[in-house]
Structure 1
Amino acid sequence: MPDLMGNDEHLRAVLAAAGASGSWDWDIAADRLFVDARFAELYGLDTSELAAGFPTSVFFQAIHPEDRPRMRIAVAGLLAGAELFSKEFRVIDPSGTVVWMHGRGQSHLDAADVPVRFTGLLVDVTERKRTEERLRIAQSAGGVGTFEYSDGFATVSVSHEFCRLLGLHPTDRLPVRTINGVLADHGQQLIPEGHDAAAPVSLEGTFRIVRGDDGAVRWIARRGEVIRDSIGTGYRLLGVIYDVSDSKHLEGELRALNETLEQRVDAAIAERQHAEEALRQSQKMEAVGQLTGGIAHDFNNLLTIIIGSIETATRRLDPEVDPRLRRSLENATKGAERAAALTHRLLAFSRRQPLRPRTTDVPRLLAGMSDLLTRTITESIAVAIDTPEELWKVEVDPNQLENAILNLAVNARDAMPQGGELTIRAHQQVIGPQNAEGLAPGDYVAISVIDNGSGMSTDTLARVFDPFFTTKEVGKGTGLGLSMVYGFVRQSGGGVTIDSELDKGTTVTLLLARANDSEQIETAPKTEAAKHGTIHETVLVVEDDDDVRAHTVGLLRELGYRVIEAHDGASALRLLDKQEQPIMLLVTDIVMPEMSGSELAQVARARQPGLKVLFTSGYTRDAITDKDRLDEGVELLAKPFTFGAIAAKVREILDQ
């Protein structure tokens, strides 16, 4: 027989070849642990004491604190009668390195089935554990869960990522019924089972699941291989699953987009046609506006002479004159005034009228118009004004706004010959960057004039803002009402929308920009100034139209002023330099050849600081800056003007 030492050496050689990292033999009755040198080295034990053995407590001292409780439970199970031991746990070696060990052992029982010895081996599995950890991290980072299923078994080996994807508690094994139970579509199997071993089994597919934790519906893809045994009586399934919900949703959106492609193309074409039509309409309105503005300019010069001459003749008529002659002059005055009103509307449509924008309180303005609206609208029409208590102020010419609202109210009245309801409503509105009116984004106040009258057809609605277009009978409208409203609001930096349907009424909405809250609202009435002047007050009149200049000079001299005149800017500057008596007021036309009235005023003020200026024009575009508004400090008298208008205006300026 070989000696024991030889047997021990032979055993150690076999264990080393098998990858064992140590062995132990625990004498349970003596409570002594006998280990080999490799076990002692791993645990940091004194190898000179191997023969005497060690207390069993040393076995637990080197085990990682987190693993120590479950190892004590496992050992207690052996002492209670369990025969086999197989556990993986961490050991901290003398250098402080954490090493993973797989302990496998067996208890030995006496005749009374009481454990007396416990022998076993330690195998270093650190590298395998590290590989498994890297694989786990890779699966978690990539969102890939793994599974392995053997035909005929009720459980499946799974990774923690597999459990996470299904919303199940992390574990290493799951029942097949639990896995297939999360499928949203009954009859499908994520883990195929119960198949004929010889029949083909495919692991390619996608499944809808209802997660076990939060109940969310997700799409899971499954891929893998089927491994059959050599005799064809069984198989194993090895595969992976991963979440494909995002791609499924994108597929659904793409499918929906393809299904609605034709409708979206039609909508895009319609939108483009609408934009092109709006552009053509805008270009047409601009072209007509330029034409009407030029006509109004020349016409206003003629009306200035006509109205002025009629006024002069009327003032100088003998009280005993034939009444028929006086009536003729009165009729001529009325006709001229109607013509002046027409040119005013032309200028409003062409956005060439002079505006005096001020911070305006819309509710107060509408309240002030209440009596006027009531008198204008027939008793068969109920008038209501609906405005909130708190409303943004707007930057607008209040007189022109009143005219626009009154114009819309009259149109509404005419659309309800049998009576009805007229509502004027105001509210705040925020306009975004993309809007059909082409307005600058910001805060606006919307003023809507609403009636329940006859309404308009689609064809009429398309032409409603065209100048001279009207649905009224001959002699009952010029066709400039809505176009004037349109021009005034656009010149004020706002927009107009109209919504109408036959027999259901019309709503016209004016959108006006919000005013700066720091600006003050003008409420104090202006006092009437004395109209006549004195020979000591010198006025320089500059006008390139000889007839208009002669008329203006005559009016001012009749008012008592000392008047000198010039036909252009250069002549006016020479007169300005020659005068010994200072000129107190420059009255100049705006549109003149070579040097405009604005340029003349700038040079004249530089030469004579404090010189007051009054512009006159029937076409005030050159005096309007900053988005079609009058410059600060500019005084303007629009042509045609009456004797009373120029008298009051000149006196007002000189008395400032």
Structure 2
Amino acid sequence: MPESNPIQALRAATGASGLWEWDIASNTLYTDDGFADLYGIDRVAGQTGVPAETFFRAIHPEDRSRIRIAVAGILSGAELFSKEFRLVTPQNVTIWVHARGRAHTNDEDEPQKFTGVLVDVTDRKKTEERLRIAQTAGGIGTFEYVDGFATATISHQFCRLLGLHPALSLPVQTINSTLQPGQPLLLPDSRHGVVPETIDAIFRITRNDDGASRWIARRGEILREGSGFRLIGVIYDVTDAQETEAALRELNETLESRVQSELVIRHRAVDALRQAQKMESIGQLTGGIAHDFNNLLMAISSSLELLKKRLPNDPQYNRLIDNAQQATERGAGLTQRMLAFARKQDLKSEPVDVAGLIGGMTHLLRHTLGPAWTLAFDLPGGFPSVVADANQVEMAIINLTVNARDAMADGGTIRVTTDRCQVMAGDIVDLAGGEYIRISVHDEGEGMDAETLQRATEPFFTTKGVGKGTGLGLSMVDGLAKQMNGTFTLRSTPGQGTSATLWLPVADDQASVPVAPTRVSQPDTTIGPLKILAVDDDALILMNTTEFLQDLGHQVVEALSGKEALALLDKHPDIDLIITDQSMPNMSGLQLVAKARERRPDLPVLIVSGYGEIPQNSQTGLVKLDKPFNQAQLSRSLHDALAIRA
């Protein structure tokens, strides 16, 4: 069927049941599937249209003539078509449709095409019919009232409708007693000093005989008689109609409310999805940057350490090198925060006593905050341990208390509290059901508005001045909490302060242990020289690692890839230990270790990474060394690796 974008749009907006396009020149009718189904048009393979007479085939015989006349008007030059009529479907079911269309003319205003849509209005027609029937279902009562008289002439049906005893006439006061106060049934509305010619109104009555509440419609006509008037009219029961209309209104209101609720939920879901996708992208970018930055810091810090050993013992040289080394340490701390946000730092999960941990930090926290801020603690004892990395939890608490301090420039009280709670699945976003310990830091500062609160955990977002913060503190805490199977929440009110809460899962009997084994030996300076295979795809880091090892008295064989390392391992069967980077293209450190131990099952291994991408328990007999490392840390790790073999 030829495309007709305006009609397609109309169909989408109205929920049309069928779509047509009538080519007047060829007298051919093109339809969509909805039109074809209603009219019983059989689709034939390759058929692009049907005779235009098909348009009238399914129209009810009683409506066909007037529709033919209306269509003839379109074909003769009329522009718009809008008619309601009945269709008899192929299933012999009669439905009502509203056909709307228009003529499309050429430059000489001659009609070329007649396009339109069918909208199913059967439900509306049924409702209108029910209302019409309801208006007369209770019968009709008549009345006559003469202005100034105390009684009115009425019919028996009038009395029945109002629940009154049958009578030919009744006092107006008795009749009006069935109505709510202030609603005279037999008097026209003359509040503005003008009596209308006709009176139409609907009243709510309480029947005198059974006390039932009903709706009564009144229609009448005013007959002038001198200075007075005579009112002649009828009443009838419209309770069913009123209740139907009320039900329809309630249904429409419910549907509208439901649609609005669904739209709100959908918009929130879309916003949440976009935020999650944005944070996921930022996390991947941040983790990648941190990884590369760690490699740069490794090259710089190791070069500085080697340079300091080789330069003359000059105080000025030493001071400059020490400054540079301190800068690399600060850079390493920054990468740890970035990795925490990206959830890619290496955590040593173990049971942690939260109250004991915080209790041991009180002196450090008070020293960090300064005298203008008071620390208050509420740390109940007897809580179970949590599964966490103690060092990282300490760092998170320090970050939160420093943030609380910065929110209260003139000083104040910072409260650190812990409590125990049971969470049901779905109660808190991103948090599984179970038992948790909450660590909360409360301040009395300026608080945050809704927009700031929503962005508070984004990396590099900060409300502090330039140079006063990296914007990674809260994002680090958030990433850390989620990496430990907990979560991080913020509540804040402008002018009333902020509460930051870290949720950590309670440890069970199977609490996890750190990936790296506990060190079983202290560094032994008498260790003999080793033949070590050093593997790293970064040539700068490989060179400095080799320098460290050679400076310790070891012989080093270098490889820039896992494949090259395996070839060298076969070539040098006397290799005593492998030290390898984890993140390498084509073959990771763990993959290299697995293949190496197929050849040498007892070969000691030291795996190096600045990236938390090594799964817990992925390999046994491994010692992990974090980047950036110095020569002393490297030496201790070598001893640990050898101790495992022993």
Question: Structure 1 length normalisation: TM-score?
Answer: 0.57
- Would the alpha carbon gap of residues 635 and 262 (structure 1) be closer, same or farther in structure 2, given more than 3 Å must change? farther
| Equivalent residue, structure 2, for 1:649 | 637
Question: Could you tell me how far 1:552 is from its partner in structure 2?
Answer: 0.5
The offset of 1:652, in angstroms, is: 2.6
The superposition leaves residues 34-86 of structure 1 with CA deviations (integer Å, 9 ceiling, x where unpaired) of xxxxxxxxxxxxxxxxxxxxxxxxxxxxxxxxxxxxxxxxxxxxxxxxxxxxx
**What does 1:215-614 align with in structure 2 at a 5 Å threshold?**
265-319=259-313, 321=314, 323-519=315-511, 529-530=522-523, 532=525, 534-581=527-574, 583-614=575-606
Q: CA deviation at 1:565?
A: 2.2
Give the CA deviation at 1:589.
Answer: 0.7
Q: State the match for 2:76 in structure 1.
A: none
**C-alpha distance 257-449 of structure 1, shift in aligned 2 (>3 A):** farther
Distance 1:391 1:256 in 2: 53
The answer to whether the 8 A contact 2:426-2:432 is kept is no
- Partner-residue secondary structure (3-state), 1:422: strand
CA distance in 2, matches of 1:422, 1:501: 16
Cα pair 2:447 2:494 within 8 Å, conserved: yes
Q: Structure 1: how far apart are the matches of 2:372 and 2:250?
A: 54
Shift of 1:500: 0.7
Deviation string, structure 1 residues 633-653 (Cα, Å, up to 9, x no partner): 543222221222222222233
Corresponding letter in the other structure for 1:283? Q
Offset of 1:438 from its aligned partner? 2.3
Q: How many residues are aligned here?
A: 404
Look up the SS of the partner of 1:624 in the other structure: coil
Q: Distance in 2 between matches of 1:379 and 1:262?
A: 58
How big is the shift at 1:417?
Answer: 1.8
CA, structure 1 residues 286+363, in 2 after alignment: closer, same or farther (shift >3 Å)?
A: same
Q: Secondary structure at the match of 2:301?
A: helix
| CA drift at 1:537 | 3.0
Gaps of 5+ in 1: 1-194, 200-221, 223-251
Is the 1:538–1:563 contact (alpha carbons within 8 Å) kept by the matching residues of 2?
yes
C-alpha RMSD of matched pairs (Å): 3.1
Distance in 2 (CA, whole Å) between partners of 1:253 and 1:620 is 62
Q: Distance in 2 between matches of 1:651 and 1:257?
A: 77
In our comparison, the structure showing a higher alpha carbon Rg is 1
CA distance, structure 2, for counterparts of residue 611 and residue 527 of structure 1: 18
1:613–1:283: structure 2 CA closer, same or farther, 3 Å change rule? same
**More displaced stretch, 287-296 vs 439-448:** 439-448
Residue type of the alignment partner of 2:496? K
1:494–1:511: 8 Å Cα contact kept in structure 2? yes
Q: Which amino acid aligns with 2:381?
A: E
**C-alpha separation between the residues in 1 aligned to 2:253 and 2:627?**
63
Task: State the secondary structure of the residue aligned to 1:595.
Answer: coil
Superposed CA offset, 1:275-316 (max 9, x none)? 322222211111011112112222221211111111111233
TM-score (norm 2): 0.58
Structure 2 stretches lacking a partner, 5+ long: 1-163, 169-209, 211-245
Tell me the distance in 1 between the aligned counterparts of 2:338 and 2:490.
21
Question: Does the 8 Å contact 2:423/2:433 carry over to 1?
Answer: yes
Deviations 1:119-175 (A, max 9, x none): xxxxxxxxxxxxxxxxxxxxxxxxxxxxxxxxxxxxxxxxxxxxxxxxxxxxxxxxx
Residue 382 of structure 1 aligns to a residue whose secondary structure is strand
Instruction: Tell me how far apart the structure 1 counterparts of residues 427 and 251 of structure 2 sit (CA, whole Å).
Output: 25
Candidates 619, 622, 627, aligned match of 1:639: 627
Relative to structure 1, is the Cα distance of residues 423 and 475 closer, same or farther in structure 2, using a 3 angstrom cutoff?
same
User: Which string of whole-angstrom CA distances, capped at 9 and with x for unpartnered residues, describes residues 461-480 of structure 1?
Assistant: 11111111111111111111
Query: Is this contact kept in 2: 1:494–1:513, CA < 8 A?
Result: yes
Displacement after TM superposition at 1:593 (Å) = 2.2
SS at the partner of 1:655?
helix
- Give yes or no for contact 2:521–2:639 (8 Å, CA) kept in 1: no
